[in-house]
């Protein structure tokens, strides 16, 4: 958990550093909009009581239908404990069935991606029609600076990984290239989860460590989302010529980091975190509409680095616990289930 918090802070600082230097939102000079503008995003409170209540599902079917990852994780933990207590004789058929379901869902994801370009084209066209062609330069600056921040964050993760794993970190990155590519092309780190699980086990991480750390990382170690939140919030402030003091920026970044931990797995979670946080700092929530048209391109990068960050974190923990095996690449994939 210490590493998860540290990596979140580092990624926020990297994003803040690049966006402060580049100023991608400068020049837009947007007028402060009406407070009633609807972004189409569900925004809820971020209180401790609300967060704790939110983690306990009232219905697992409802949690799955609404993609409430935290609730699904809590249910899965108790479900797994119950299944393990029954022994392999009873839970083996269920494990095999769930494995088949996971492969089917990945196939369905592939079908959805066939029509994704049409949706992206429509979103971009809508933004250009309302804001004019000049916004393309700001978009180019935003996307370029954002991916520079993503690259710097990757280098930081690799540097820390090298301190713990030494040269093995390069073998780890090589083995994670497939799940990272899946996350990048689908804009979903969840779609890359099965392959990430398989590759980490082949790398030599204990299956128990992988099965424990990786799901937690998917909820709490979202380094890509942290880069995005810091970058996007400052971009919107710059677009509306809103100047924040150092103290305000510090509190904003801490709030974004804490808010993201309680909203993991929500569709467009990074945008939802922004919508819930920036109004408290007098930044118009309507500014998020500027980002919706290009969010898919940004989501590709943050999904990819989320997978890489969680992979490195899992391997580092396995190394520290003495549960990192060598020459484990021939591990049978079917043994990963469960």
pLDDT tens series, the chain, 338 aa: 677 788 888 889 998 999 999 888 877 777 776 554 555 555 454 455 655 666 777 888 887 777 565 677 778 888 888 888 888 777 888 888 887 887 787 677 667 667 767 766 776 676 677 767 777 888 888 999 999 999 999 999 999 989 988 888 999 999 999 899 988 888 778 778 888 888 888 888 888 888 888 888 877 778 888 899 899 999 999 888 888 888 888 888 887 887 776 555 555 677 777 877 788 788 888 788 788 778 888 888 888 998 999 999 889 888 887 777 765 555 444 444 44
Q: Are 198 and 188 in contact (CB under 8 A)?
A: no
Strand partners, 324: 205
CA distances from 324 to 89, 190, 309, 321, 327 (A): 29, 24, 17, 8, 10
Residues 6 or more apart from 9 whose CB is under 8 A from it? 257
Q: Which of 275, 243, 239 is nearest to 256 (CA)?
A: 275
Residue 287 near residue 35 (C-beta atoms within 8 A): no
- Asked whether the beta carbons of 146 and 231 are under 8 A apart, the reply is yes
pTM (2 d.p.): 0.69
What pLDDT shows up at residue 51? 55
What pLDDT sits at residue 45? Answer: 45
What is the model's pLDDT at position 338?
44
Q: What is the DSSP letter of 32?
A: P
Tokens of 169: 């970190």
Cβ neighbours of residue 66 closer than 8 Å, sequence gap 6 or more? none
- Give the residue numbers spanning the domain of 95: 2-336
Q: Which two tokens stand for residue 263?
A: 């909203």
- The pLDDT, as a whole number, for residue 4 is 76
Classify the C-alpha dihedral 307-5-67-318 as positive or negative: positive
**CATH code, domain carrying 59:** 1.10.3860.10
C-beta of residue 272 within 8 angstroms of C-beta of residue 42: yes
Q: Which of these, 229, 225, 214, 188, lies nearest to 311 by C-alpha position?
A: 214
Structure-token pair, residue 239: 């677009």
**What was the pLDDT predicted at 170?**
92
Task: Give how many domains the chain has, as a whole number.
Answer: 1
Say what the pLDDT of residue 176 is: 92
């Amino acid at each position: 958990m210490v590493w998860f918090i540290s990596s979140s802070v580092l990624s926020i600082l990297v994003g803040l550093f690049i966006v402060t230097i580049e100023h991608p939102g400068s020049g837009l000079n947007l007028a402060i909009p009406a407070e009633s503008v609807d972004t189409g995003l569900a925004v809820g409170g971020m209180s401790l009581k609300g967060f704790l209540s939110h983690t306990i599902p009232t219905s697992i079917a409802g949690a799955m239908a609404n993609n409430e990852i935290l609730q699904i994780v809590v249910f899965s933990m108790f479900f797994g404990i119950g299944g393990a207590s029954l022994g392999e004789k009873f839970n083996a058929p269920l494990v095999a069935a769930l494995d088949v379901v996971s492969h089917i869902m990945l196939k369905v994801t592939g079908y959805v991606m066939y029509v994704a370009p049409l949706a992206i084209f429509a979103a971009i066209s809508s933004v250009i029609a309302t804001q004019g062609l000049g916004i393309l330069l700001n978009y180019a600056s935003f996307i370029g600076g954002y991916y520079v921040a993503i690259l710097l964050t990757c280098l930081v993760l690799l540097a820390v990984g090298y301190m713990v794993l030494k040269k093995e970190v390069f073998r780890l990155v090589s083995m994670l290239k497939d799940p990272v590519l899946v996350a990048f092309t689908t804009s979903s780190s969840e779609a890359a989860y099965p392959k990430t699980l398989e590759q980490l086990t082949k790398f030599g991480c204990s299956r128990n460590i992988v099965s424990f750390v990786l799901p937690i990382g998917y909820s709490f170690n979202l380094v890509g989302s942290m880069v995005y939140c810091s970058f996007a919030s400052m971009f919107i402030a710059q677009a509306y010529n809103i100047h924040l003091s150092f103290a305000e920026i510090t509190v904003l970044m801490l709030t974004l980091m804490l808010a993201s931990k309680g909203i993991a797995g929500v569709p467009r979670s990074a945008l939802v975190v922004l919508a819930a946080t920036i109004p408290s700092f007098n930044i118009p929530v309507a500014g998020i509409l500027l980002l919706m048209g290009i969010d898919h391109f940004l989501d590709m990068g943050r999904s990819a680095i989320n997978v890489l960050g969680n992979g490195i974190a899992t391997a580092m923990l396995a190394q520290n616990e003495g549960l990192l095996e060598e020459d484990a690449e021939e591990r049978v994939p079917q043994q990963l289930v469960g």
